[in-house]
Structure 1
Amino acid sequence: MRRLVVLISVMCFASAQHHQALIDYLERRLLAIEDRISLWHEQAIRYASELRDLKQQMVSQLENLDKEKETLRVNLDSMGTRVDRVERELDYLETQNGAQPCVDVDDKLIEQQVTQVQEKQKTKYFKVTDCSDMISTIKAMKILKRVGGSKGMWTRDTGGGSGKVFIFNGTDKDTIFEFSTVQDFTRSQGLSESRQLKIPKTWTGTGHVVYNNHAYVITQADEAVTLVKYDLRNKSVADSVVFPVQDQVPVYNLSPETVMDLAVDEEGLWAIYATHQTEKHISLAKLDAISLTIEQTWDTNCPRENAEAAFVICGTLYVVYNTKQPGRSRVQCLFDINDTVSGDDAPLLYFPKRYGAHASLKYNPLERLLYAWDDGYQILYKLVMKKKLEV
C-alpha cells in the first residue's frame, strides 16, 4: 500500500513538471508574437509616414509641372505670334521679289511661242470689256464653314443673276446644294438645310461654274468630255455639247479628277484644259456661254506639273502650284491672251497658310473674290488689284 502511494506521488510530480514546461513554452511563444506585432506596428507607422512624405513631394512636383506647363504654353503662344509675323514678312518679301514664272523652255516651245505671237499680232482676241486689272496681292482669307468631303466646289452665281450659293460636294455626284445667300449657308447646320437640285448626269471633277442662272457642268464618259448647261430656274438641261478637243488629259497634275476646268471672268466663260499633244502645258479656250461653241484657243507656257488649280481674271490665266505633300499654294505662272502682262510684271503670289490643297478656285468678277475649297473648308480670298501695263 505504501508503494502505491509513493508511485502515485511520483506520477503527480512528473505531471506537474510537464504542465509547467508547457506553460513556459506557451509564454515564450506569446512573447515572441507580441514582439513581432510590435515590430510590424512600428514598420506600418514608418511606411505611413513615408507615404505621406511621398504624397507631399508628388503634390509639390505636380504644382511645379502645372507652372512649367503654363509657362511653356505662354512661350508657345508667343512663338506662334512671332512665326505668323515672320510668315507675313516673308509673304511681303516674296511678293516684292517675284520669281520668273515656271517655263519649260526648249527649241520646240520657243518656236511655238514665236508662232503664237505672230498669230496674235495678226488677229488679237476681241475684248468684250475694257477690263485691264491684274492681281497685286492676295490680301486676306476668311474661312466660312466646313461641309462635305475633302474635294468639291462652291460658288455664287458669277453672272449676278440670283446671288445664290451653290455647293458641288465631291468629284462624281449628281446633286447640287443651293442656299439663298452666303449668310444662310454660313448659319446652316449642314447640307441638309439646302435646296437640292438633281441633274441628269454625274459630274466629273471640280471644274464646274454657275453663270447667269445656269450651271455649267463637266461630265466624262468613254473618254469624251461633255459640257452640260443646266437651267437652274427651270431645272432642266438647256444644252450639252461634247468638247471638240481630242485626247484630253487631266488639266492639273495634282488634281487628276479634274479633266477640264471652267472659269468665269469679266469677259465671260472660259475652259482650261490639256491634251496629249500639249501634255506638258495647259491650254485655254474662250467659250460662247449661250451656244457653248469655242471662240478661240491658246496654248500657254504654264506647265501642268505640280499645278493644282487655276482661274481667269480680265483675260489673264492664273495657274496655282503646290507640292505633292501639300504646302504653300502659289500663283507661279500667268498667261495673258492680249500680251499686256509680261513675265517681269507677273509677281509670285502666295496664298495664306491653309489646311491642305485647293480642290477648286472660282473667281467672282462682281465681288473680286476667290471661292476656294480646301480639304472640306469653304474659304474666301480677298484680292487686291492693279492695272496691267497696256501695250
Structure 2
Amino acid sequence: MWFRVSLLSLSCLAVISQSQAQDQASLRRSNDPTGRCQYTFSVASPEESSCPGSGAKPEIDGVLSRVTLLEALVSRMIAGEDGGIGSGVGDKGQEGLQEAYSQVTGEKNQLQQDKERLNKQVQDLQRRLEELSQEAESLRQQPCQQTHTSGGAQHGNRPANDPGYDFGNGAYQEMKAEVTEVPASHLLPVRNHNFTGCGELLSVADPVMHRKADGITGKYGVWLQDPEPQGPEYTNKTVMRIDAVGKDVRQLFVYEDMDQFAKGFPMKVLVLPEPVESTGATLYQGSFYYQLRRSRTLIRYDLASESVASRIDLPNAGFHGQHPYSWGGYTDIDLAVDEQGLWAIYSTTKAKGAIVISQLDLKSLEVRKSWETNIRKNTVANAFMLCGRLYTVASYTAPNTTINYVFDTATGVGQAVSVPFKNKYRYNSMVDYNHGQRKLYAWDNYHMVTYDVRLGRASS
C-alpha cells in the first residue's frame, strides 16, 4: 500500500514539475492484476519521442504484481484469515502425537502382559519349591532301606574327584551298610540300669558336635583322647586328630584340651615316620597305634620319644580294600581299646570275610588270642570294643540306625541286638569307645562328635 502511495506521489510531482512543458495531460483508470481500480497520469514529453530504458517496464510491472500479492496476503493474515494454514500444521502435529500415543499405549500393554506372565512363573516356581521341600523333609524322616546279601564283599564306586580315592587301585570300596541276619532272640537282660562298672551296652545318647573340619581332607578321619594317659606332657584332656583323606597321611595334630580343639589351635603337630591307612588308629597309654598304608603292618608310635617303638604284621589280615567296612575307606584293620586292652578288628581269607577279633600285646603288638564271629565285616558300617565285647553299627548313612550285633569274647557267643544309634550328618566313618570318658567318639561327615553311653550289669 505504501509503495503505491509513494508511486502516486512521484507521479504527481512529475506532473507538477513538467506542467509548463506539457501541452496536455491525461488521466487513465484501469484495474490492476488483482482487480483493484488504479489511476495513472500520463504526460507527454515535449523533447523526447521515446523513453530510454523503456524495456524495464515489464519488470516493474511484475514487481508491482508480486508486491500487490504480498500485500493481499499480509492483509488476510492480519484479518485472521490464515486459520486454514495454522489448522493444517496443527492437524499434522495432532496426527503425530496421536501416533506416538498409540505406540506408547501398545508398549505399555505389552509390558503389562509380560509382567503377568512372569508373576505366574514365579508363583509356579514357589509352588514347586514348596513341594520339593516337603518331599525332602519326608525323605529325611524315612530311614534308609537296607537289603540283605549273600556272598563275599561288594565293591562300590567312589567319586574320582575325592582326594581319598586311590587312582592306582580300582578296589576302593564305598558300600551301603547291610546286615547279615543272625539267629537272635532278645535284648540282653539288664539287672541294674544305674550300674557304673563294666557291663553291657544299654543305650547311646544323641551325638554332641565338638568341631567341624575345614576342608575336603577332613571328610573322614580319626580323633580321640587317651583313656589312660602316661603324662606329664599328654593328659586325659589332650586331644589328637588325623585327617585321613589323602595318599600320604602323616600329620598327627595335638591339642591341649577340648576347648583348643574346638577352636582349631593345636599345641603341636607330629609328623609320623610312615603314612597311616584309613581311620582304624587308636590311642592308649602314651602310644599311638595305627596300620601302615597299603600293608597289614601294625605300628606303635611312642608319643614321648616321638619314634616307632614296635611294628609287626598282623597274620593273614586282609588290607587295602580286601575286607573293609561297608563305607569303604580301606578300613580292613580297625584298632580299638577298652577296659581289657588293645584289640584288632579285621578279617582273613580263611574267615571268608567274617569279622575276626584279636587281642594284642600292648608293647610288641603280638596276637594273644583270636575269635572268629559269624557276621561279615563288609555288611556293617563300623565296630568298636566295649568291656571285651564287639559291637557293630548297621549303617553309616541312615540318620536313625542301630547297633545291631554283639560278640562277647568271654563266652565266644554272638547275637543280634537293637540299640538305637544316630548318624546325624549321614556319613559316619569312625566309631571308637573311650572307657576313661565312657563315651563313643565318631567322625561323621566332617563333624567330630561324641555319644554318651549307658551300661548295665552283664547277664549271669
Of residues 250, 265, 272, the one that matches 1:174 is: 250
How far the C-alpha of 1:383 sits from its partner, in A, is 1.0
Tell me: CA distance 1:9–1:367, structure 2 relative to 1, closer, same or farther (3 Å).
Answer: closer
- Greater shift after overlay, 193-202 or 209-218? 193-202
Question: Mapping of 1:115-134 within 5 angstroms?
Answer: 132-134=198-200
Q: Distance in 1 between matches of 2:308 and 2:334?
A: 20
| Equivalent residue number for residue 317 of structure 1 | 390
1:32 aligns with 2:91: yes
Q: For residue 237 of structure 1, what is the amino acid of its counterpart?
A: V
Aligned length: 332
Secondary structure of 1:184 counterpart:
helix
| Equivalent residue number for residue 35 of structure 2 | none
Of residues 202, 210, 219, the one that matches 1:150 is: 219
Tell me: CA distance 1:353–1:307, structure 2 relative to 1, closer, same or farther (3 Å).
Answer: closer
1:367 aligns with 2:437: yes
Tell me: CA distance 1:9–1:235, structure 2 relative to 1, closer, same or farther (3 Å).
Answer: closer
How far the C-alpha of 1:260 sits from its partner, in A, is 0.4
Secondary structure of 1:178 counterpart:
strand
| Equivalent residue number for residue 350 of structure 2 | 277
Q: Distance in 2 between matches of 1:313 and 1:5?
A: 134
1:208 aligns with 2:281: yes
Tell me: CA distance 1:5–1:219, structure 2 relative to 1, closer, same or farther (3 Å).
Answer: closer
How far the C-alpha of 1:235 sits from its partner, in A, is 1.0
- CA deviation vs aligned residue, 1:104-150 (integer Å, no higher than 9, x gap): 78xxxxxxxxxxxxxxxxxxxxxxxx965121111221011112511
Larger RCO (CA under 8 A, 6+ residues apart)? 1
How far the C-alpha of 1:38 sits from its partner, in A, is 5.5
Question: Mapping of 1:104-115 within 5 angstroms?
Answer: none
| Equivalent residue number for residue 96 of structure 1 | none
How far the C-alpha of 1:333 sits from its partner, in A, is 1.8
1:303 aligns with 2:372: no
How far the C-alpha of 1:302 sits from its partner, in A, is 1.7
Q: Distance in 1 between matches of 2:142 and 2:202?
A: 18
Of residues 66, 82, 92, the one that matches 1:12 is: 66
1:330 aligns with 2:428: no
Q: For residue 27 of structure 1, what is the amino acid of its counterpart?
A: G
Q: For residue 290 of structure 1, what is the amino acid of its counterpart?
A: K
Q: For residue 324 of structure 2, what is the amino acid of its counterpart?
A: V
Contact kept in structure 2, 1:311 and 1:363, CA below 8 Å? yes
Tell me: CA distance 1:5–1:199, structure 2 relative to 1, closer, same or farther (3 Å).
Answer: closer
| Equivalent residue number for residue 164 of structure 2 | none
- CA deviation vs aligned residue, 1:14-72 (integer Å, no higher than 9, x gap): 96599999x88853442124424664797799899999x99xx9xxx9xxx9xx99xx9
Structure 1: runs of 5+ lacking an equivalent:
89-100, 106-129
Contact kept in structure 1, 2:324 and 2:378, CA below 8 Å? no
Of residues 272, 276, 281, the one that matches 1:199 is: 272
1:227 aligns with 2:298: yes
Q: Distance in 2 between matches of 1:142 and 1:154?
A: 14
- CA deviation vs aligned residue, 1:223-247 (integer Å, no higher than 9, x gap): x411111111111111111212255
Secondary structure of 1:278 counterpart:
coil
- Greater shift after overlay, 265-274 or 169-178? 169-178
Contact kept in structure 1, 2:398 and 2:423, CA below 8 Å? no
Of residues 369, 385, 388, the one that matches 2:455 is: 385
Q: Alignment RMSD, CA only?
A: 4.5
Tell me: CA distance 1:146–1:267, structure 2 relative to 1, closer, same or farther (3 Å).
Answer: same
State the TM-score, normalizing by the size of structure 1: 0.70
| Equivalent residue number for residue 339 of structure 1 | 411
Tell me: CA distance 1:353–1:209, structure 2 relative to 1, closer, same or farther (3 Å).
Answer: closer
Q: Distance in 2 between matches of 1:158 and 1:279?
A: 33
Tell me: CA distance 1:292–1:9, structure 2 relative to 1, closer, same or farther (3 Å).
Answer: closer
Larger radius of gyration: 2
How far the C-alpha of 1:303 sits from its partner, in A, is 1.8
Q: Distance in 1 between matches of 2:88 and 2:266?
A: 86
- CA deviation vs aligned residue, 1:277-330 (integer Å, no higher than 9, x gap): 22331111011112211111111112223322110111111111226x665443
How far the C-alpha of 1:176 sits from its partner, in A, is 0.4
Question: Mapping of 1:239-254 within 5 angstroms?
Answer: 239-248=310-319, 249-254=322-327
| Equivalent residue number for residue 259 of structure 2 | 183
Q: Distance in 1 between matches of 2:282 and 2:59?
A: 133
Q: Distance in 1 between matches of 2:459 and 2:69?
A: 132
Contact kept in structure 2, 1:362 and 1:370, CA below 8 Å? yes
How far the C-alpha of 1:384 sits from its partner, in A, is 1.6
State the TM-score, normalizing by the size of structure 2: 0.60
Q: Distance in 2 between matches of 1:246 and 1:368?
A: 29
How far the C-alpha of 1:204 sits from its partner, in A, is 0.7
Higher helix share: 1
Structure 2: runs of 5+ lacking an equivalent:
1-53, 144-178, 184-195
1:260 aligns with 2:338: no
Q: Distance in 1 between matches of 2:436 and 2:205?
A: 17
Q: For residue 181 of structure 1, what is the amino acid of its counterpart?
A: D
Q: Distance in 1 between matches of 2:318 and 2:108?
A: 85
- Greater shift after overlay, 204-213 or 301-310? 301-310
Q: Distance in 1 between matches of 2:418 and 2:448?
A: 24
